[in-house]
Structure 1
């Protein structure tokens, strides 16, 4: 999903899901803990043991969510005749095909592969919402007006505090992170979807057009993140915008 594959180490966790190899670098756990620390402190209200519980819940949710995202890509690759491996690391995740995606010549196929990641996350959100509605639960949905529309203002309460936190994290991560991933910034899925859509629309140099759009979109998101004290997000999108700028200048005529 973001940047390049990290070097393997002995500390990596390795397993398989349906013959799809998965490698989790130690940096992934550090990233997840860093992102979840402030919210865990806020939920714990000074209880040191509770901080640990909430942080573990957050890390598990992030792990499951990003794994599902990358599985969406890997399954889509398999549907179009390519196997893939998954790597989770400090910038998120990667679904790495066994050979170049240039072998998948049709833009609509590449578009579907890119969309399968965030699509699988949004499908998970739908399944969680259905389960909550069937159970008749009241729940504080991450997007308040959507929760009201879905009828979560009324119902029976969820007794377990940890269960409520896990469900809220699961919905939050898989709604908002999927939405961020759909932004037209390369090499995020949204940037790749934009590139393939431009090619389908007959744009002559779709890659260059997508790169230029990626510069401005990445810079805009970085500015928003800085304004909202989201330092990690800001740093990441600055890097992505710079990467797109460098790609534009190396792949074609420089701006004058």
Structure 2
């Protein structure tokens, strides 16, 4: 199997959270740094700050993801531990007996719940952060980048955009007389932007009213939301051994098909190849290679399952 628990090292960070043992492999940090290098900008100090914020965001988001799995295990009285490593994270039952014993862990419904709990926890984290930002009147700076129109998510940046669209292109610096024609909520935004009281506001001053005053906090939240939303959704695609692949496998089993496992693996191969091509074209080498490896892993698993491959055949799951 492509993804498995890595061996322990003398550099592991071990701790407990919510009574769940957690181990962070050193390659987790190295991989997070590599993933963040492509998006840094500015001078060396600014790049270092952004890398640190990116790594912290990745750590927090993936930890929440794996805790979602582990807490769902606990709901079924299954002890588990969490490992963060170079491929992300794993929530691992402490023994086969605890996973498939009295708790009924082998129930497809329970497996679906456990698999969905990780991405669900990540998306829940993103939702809480976005709600807190909205309560404070701030934009998240991420949802619109992921393709969601600001008006769909009550993003206050839409107020700024509305005001800018309202004025004539020649009126680059609207004055107070122009503002009186706007809705009261836009007038409030204008008063917030006019900090120096000169009755003139630039588009940059408009935008500043909905951006967090701390650039470091804004950068951290932007990274946290990107990882928690985009990576969670990517994890739900029907590719094994991602959570979406495991959910798809159980749905095929629930359908009663005699070839449920084979069908889920065939779907996994097709989707992984498609995402790999998309990754090579639009996201870079890393995503393309990763999903190509996942496609190969599903292919070899299918060969073993049908008895056509090496490794002695037999059922892999």
Please report the TM-score for the alignment, with normalisation by the length of structure 2.
Answer: 0.75
Matched, 1:145 2:148: yes
* Partner Cα distance (1:37, 1:130) in 2: 29
Structure 1 residue 147, shift from structure 2 partner: 3.1
Q: What is the RMSD computed on CA atoms of the aligned residues?
A: 1.6
Question: Deviation digits for residues 151-200 of structure 1, max 9, x if unmatched?
Answer: 22146331111111111111111110001100100000000000111112
Question: Deviation digits for residues 120-141 of structure 1, max 9, x if unmatched?
Answer: 0010111011101111113423
Residue in structure 2 matched with residue 202 of structure 1 by the alignment: 256
Residue in structure 2 matched with residue 114 of structure 1 by the alignment: 115
Q: Is the 8 A contact 1:68 1:121 kept in 2?
A: yes
Structure 1 residue 102, shift from structure 2 partner: 4.0
Structure 1 range deviating more: 215-224 or 114-123 = 215-224
* Partner Cα distance (1:80, 1:146) in 2: 40
* Partner Cα distance (1:177, 1:83) in 2: 26
Matched, 1:24 2:16: no
Structure 1 range deviating more: 144-153 or 13-22 = 144-153
* Partner Cα distance (2:306, 2:150) in 1: 47
Task: Indicate which of 75, 90, 96 corresponds to 1:94.
Answer: 90
- Give unmatched runs, 5+ long, in structure 2: 160-208, 310-317
* Count of residue correspondences: 250
* Partner Cα distance (1:196, 1:99) in 2: 21
- Give unmatched runs, 5+ long, in structure 1: none
| Structure exhibiting the larger radius of gyration computed from Cα positions | 2
Secondary structure class of the residue paired with 2:9: coil
Structure 1 residue 208, shift from structure 2 partner: 1.7
Higher helix content, 1 or 2: 1
Question: Deviation digits for residues 56-86 of structure 1, max 9, x if unmatched?
Answer: 0000000000000000000010101101000
Q: Is the 8 A contact 1:141 1:147 kept in 2?
A: no
Structure 1 residue 204, shift from structure 2 partner: 2.0
Secondary structure class of the residue paired with 2:148: helix
Q: Is the 8 A contact 2:69 2:114 kept in 1?
A: yes
Q: Is the 8 A contact 1:140 1:147 kept in 2?
A: no
Matched, 1:39 2:43: no
* Partner Cα distance (2:262, 2:68) in 1: 27
Change (3 A) 1:176 1:138: closer
Residue in structure 2 matched with residue 7 of structure 1 by the alignment: 7
Change (3 A) 1:236 1:215: same
Secondary structure class of the residue paired with 2:90: strand
Structure 1 range deviating more: 142-151 or 112-121 = 142-151
Structure 1 residue 116, shift from structure 2 partner: 0.2
Structure 1 residue 230, shift from structure 2 partner: 1.9
Matched, 1:191 2:228: no
Q: Is the 8 A contact 1:118 1:181 kept in 2?
A: yes
